[in-house]
Amino acid sequence: MATDASLAKLVKKLPKDFLAGFATAAFQIEGSTDKGGRGPSIWDGFSRIPGKTLDGGNGDVATDSYRLWRQDIALLKNYGVRAYRFSLSWSRIIPLGGRNDPVNPEGIKFYSDFIDALLEAKITPFVTLYHWDLPQALHDRYGGWLNKEEITKDFTNYAKVCFQHFGDRVKHWLTLNEPWCVAVLGYGRGVFAPGRSSDRVRSPDPVNPETVHPLLRTGGDSKTEPYIVAHSLLISHAHAVKLYRDEFKHFQKGEIGITLNGDYYMPYDDDPANATAGQRALDFHIGWYADPVYLGHYPEYMKEVLGDRLPTFTPEEIALVHGSSDFYGMNTYTTCLAKNGGDDEFQGNTIYTFTRPDGTDLGCQAQCGWLQAYAPGFRLLLNYLYKRYKLPIYVTENGFACKGENDITVEEAVNDTDRINYFKGNTQALLDAIADGVEIKSYFPWSFLDNFEWADGYGTRFGVTYVNYQTQERTPKKSSAFLMKVRLYSPFIIGLCLLLEGGGSRFHRKFGESGPELACLGRGGSTKWEFGDWMARRKRRHCKRVRVLSWSGDGRRKPGPTAGTRQTACVYSPDPRILGSSPRMWLPSTLATHIFHDTDRLTDVFTLFVRYI
Ligand code: PNW
């Protein structure tokens, strides 16, 4: 496996406009479901039904980010991200959802302030319009995604409201997140809201069918509804994109697309039947959506198996859908081995396994059964998608939930070695894919915070930040420090060294051994040994621009200008824009620790320092 230093070196070669950040979704973090004029969404009610989530958790509080958003942005800023992917809650913006329903000014203000604060922090907003939280009123009124005519109009109207209010500042739009999950998990397997399926234990028929919309008179039909819903999703997405392109793009100058989930399916062995099975799985997971959007038709195999259960596009519809994404939006987590057989239609009648023919596992097992770490699969999938769909790829989600992380203390949980290894492998794989010629424009690890993991509730933690759900305290895990250390978030670092009395131990508690770009050195014992070696290694290996100017009292280095004094700090930068002609400057040391990542931000902080003196 690559060393952190060699990774960091490669990361430096990423294109200048590469967007590295973190991703979240409204329902998973906001909470305050009944505050600020928000209307109910299908996930509010669904998650409150006993048995729908593993631990009985719901979205009422989540990570309380509707209230704590300023703190969240401060943390994102500390992490040094260049971009942040989040979603808007439709029912916060239009509480009843429909095109004739009122827009909620409080909802608009909330997101508007949020976007302003991100920009203020020099973080690029990457905004998803729909991350699964359909306004409940639209489901009840006409069957939600089951009703193509209605939902298309309402979704397009919602998109328009968002472009009108936020499009002056948002230049990266995603219409839908993972339509496969909406269709299959929401209407096929019935494990996600609205929880419909053919299984009448899971999804009973309504008690008074005559009181509900005709499309909702049964508990669902897993053989047909997912395909109907998927069709509505694709067409709604395409209408929103057309609207953006026709009415907004020319002056707002942003880009818009869809983001699809899809893992890699690798043949179990060299049996040709398993190779075909792997392709079938890719068709059912990815091709179902990506083929219409990028190639202009549903996959042949799906048409063959589903017959008239697969809706057909009218010529107008397919003309709209084909080409309706400016880029390939990619959410991916894992790789499975595909074996011919089984009767799971949603898997393309393919059996998935993580166990190789020799009995070994493909990779490290996560908390959720469906996820093992396998970096080579990430590289293969990036190549597959680029070759097939021929558009630049935005990786909009990728992440890992460490097994058992919820059963240990926060002190233990922050040592998230499995997650670090996952990111280490996948960062390398991403760089390898770029070297293979794949055009990749972003990397958004899932997730910024531990959060409401849908049907898993709160027991599955995907965050690089630990959240204590009792106190809402956020504690960075070591994986966040790793991502900063490989400079994924700071390709333009100038380098800064502060010498602070006592800063080290505080810093160490927060970030562990793999500290980010700021080193705190001082005369105190712990400060010294915790950071000294790290700093020295770093300096030698790949951080020539960060200098240790002084290091007093440890006997290994010459006492510098701080020897015998307190209250000093030194900023060093070879960049004349930062310090003028003199490359170093001594400052009082009582400033809090900060992490600096790019010229702009460093200049800001430095201005602050100067004011302080
Ligand atoms: C994605 N599966 O969901 C979502 O976009 C996120 O909201 C979610 O938290 C994240 O991945 C982690 O799960 C998925 O069963 C949910 O294969 C389920 C699956 C895949 C992705």
**Average pLDDT of span 69-88:** 93
Does 101 contact ligand 1 (Cβ within 6 A)?
A: no
DSSP secondary structure, 117-183, as one string: HHHHTT-EEEEEEESS--BHHHHHHH-GGG-HHHHHHHHHHHHHHHHHHHTTT--EEEEEE-HHIII
Average pLDDT in the chain: 84
Q: CA 252 to CA 445: how far, in whole Å? A: 27
- Burial string for 243-277 (b: 16+ CB within 10 Å, else e) reads bbeeebbeebebbbbbbbbbbbbbbbeeeeebbbb
Q: Would you state the pLDDT for residue 250?
A: 98
Sign of the dihedral defined by the CA atoms of residues 382, 385, 391, 395, in that order: negative
Q: Distance from the CA of 156 to the center of ligand 1, in angstroms? A: 25
With a CB cutoff of 8 Å and minimum separation 6, the contacts of 601 are 80, 122
pLDDT band at 78 (very low <50, low <70, confident <90, very high): confident
Hey, which residues are catalytic here? 397
3-state secondary structure 420-456: HHHHHHHHHHHHHHHHHCCCEEEEEEECCCCCCCHHH
More confident residue, 525 or 93: 93
Does 63 contact ligand 1 (Cβ within 6 A)?
A: no
Residue 335's closest CA among 270, 400, 276?
Answer: 400
Q: Would you state the pLDDT for residue 594?
A: 33
Looking only at Cα atoms, what is the longest distance across the chain? 86
Residue closest via CA to ligand 1's atom 18 equals 181
With a CB cutoff of 8 Å and minimum separation 6, the contacts of 174 are 85, 126, 127, 128, 129, 256, 257, 258, 259, 329, 396
pLDDT at position 109 over 80: yes
Does 293 contact ligand 1 (Cβ within 6 A)?
A: no
* Domains of the chain by start residue, with CATH: 11-262+389-491 (3.20.20.80)
**What is the chain's length?**
613
Asked if residues 377 and 264 have their Cβ atoms less than 8 Å apart, the reply is yes
Does 367 contact ligand 1 (Cβ within 6 A)?
A: no
**Average pLDDT of span 159-180:** 98
Q: Distance from the CA of 329 to the center of ligand 1, in angstroms? A: 14
Q: What are phi and psi of 440, to 5 degrees?
A: -120, 130
The minimum-distance atom of ligand 1 relative to the CA of 453 is 9
Q: Distance from the CA of 181 to the center of ligand 1, in angstroms? A: 8
Which region among 255-264, 436-445, 458-467, 556-565 has the lowest average model confidence (pLDDT)?
A: 556-565
Residue closest via CA to ligand 1's atom 16 equals 181
**Average pLDDT of span 488-512:** 37
Instruction: Estimate to the nearest angstrom the gap between the alpha carbon of 130 and the chain centroid.
Output: 14
Percentage with pLDDT > 90 across the chain? 74
Residue closest via CA to ligand 1's atom 15 equals 370
Using one digit for the tens of pLDDT, what is the confidence trace for 355-381?
Answer: 999 999 999 999 999 999 999 999 999
**Average pLDDT of span 388-402:** 98
To test ligand 1's pocket by mutation, which of 454, 458, 461 has the most ligand atoms within 8 angstroms of CB?
A: 454
**Average pLDDT of span 321-340:** 98
Q: Would you state the pLDDT for residue 7?
A: 78
Does 462 contact ligand 1 (Cβ within 6 A)?
A: yes
Q: What are phi and psi of 446, to 5 degrees?
A: -100, 115
Q: CA 174 to CA 162: how far, in whole Å? A: 12
Q: CA 11 to CA 18: how far, in whole Å? A: 10
Q: Would you state the pLDDT for residue 10?
A: 75
Does 261 contact ligand 1 (Cβ within 6 A)?
A: yes
Does 397 contact ligand 1 (Cβ within 6 A)?
A: yes
Q: Distance from the CA of 345 to the center of ligand 1, in angstroms? A: 20
pLDDT band at 67 (very low <50, low <70, confident <90, very high): very high
CA count, 13 A, side-chain hemisphere, 381: 35
Sign of the dihedral defined by the CA atoms of residues 505, 475, 599, 392, in that order: positive
Residue closest via CA to ligand 1's atom 13 equals 453
pLDDT band at 5 (very low <50, low <70, confident <90, very high): confident
Q: Distance from the CA of 178 to the center of ligand 1, in angstroms? A: 8
More confident residue, 577 or 191: 191
Using one digit for the tens of pLDDT, what is the confidence trace for 582-595?
Answer: 444 443 333 323 33
Using one digit for the tens of pLDDT, what is the confidence trace for 200-219?
Answer: 999 999 999 999 999 999 99
Residue closest via CA to ligand 1's atom 14 equals 181
Q: CA 296 to CA 365: how far, in whole Å? A: 37
Residue closest via CA to ligand 1's atom 19 equals 181
pTM of the model: 0.83
Using one digit for the tens of pLDDT, what is the confidence trace for 26-35?
Answer: 999 999 999 9
Q: CA 571 to CA 510: how far, in whole Å? A: 22
The helix (H) or strand (E) run that includes residue 610 is helix 599-612
Q: CA 142 to CA 138: how far, in whole Å? A: 6
pLDDT band at 8 (very low <50, low <70, confident <90, very high): confident
pLDDT band at 1 (very low <50, low <70, confident <90, very high): low
Which region among 146-150, 196-200, 210-214, 534-538 has the lowest average model confidence (pLDDT)?
A: 534-538
**Average pLDDT of span 13-22:** 88
pLDDT at position 560 over 60: no
CB atoms within 10 A of CB 608: 11
Does 25 contact ligand 1 (Cβ within 6 A)?
A: yes
Q: Would you state the pLDDT for residue 487?
A: 57
The token pair that represents 380 in the structure block: 């293969």
The minimum-distance atom of ligand 1 relative to the CA of 178 is 5
Q: CA 301 to CA 284: how far, in whole Å? A: 9
Q: CA 592 to CA 522: how far, in whole Å? A: 14
The minimum-distance atom of ligand 1 relative to the CA of 447 is 9
Does 274 contact ligand 1 (Cβ within 6 A)?
A: no
pLDDT at position 507 over 50: no
The minimum-distance atom of ligand 1 relative to the CA of 371 is 17
pLDDT band at 488 (very low <50, low <70, confident <90, very high): low
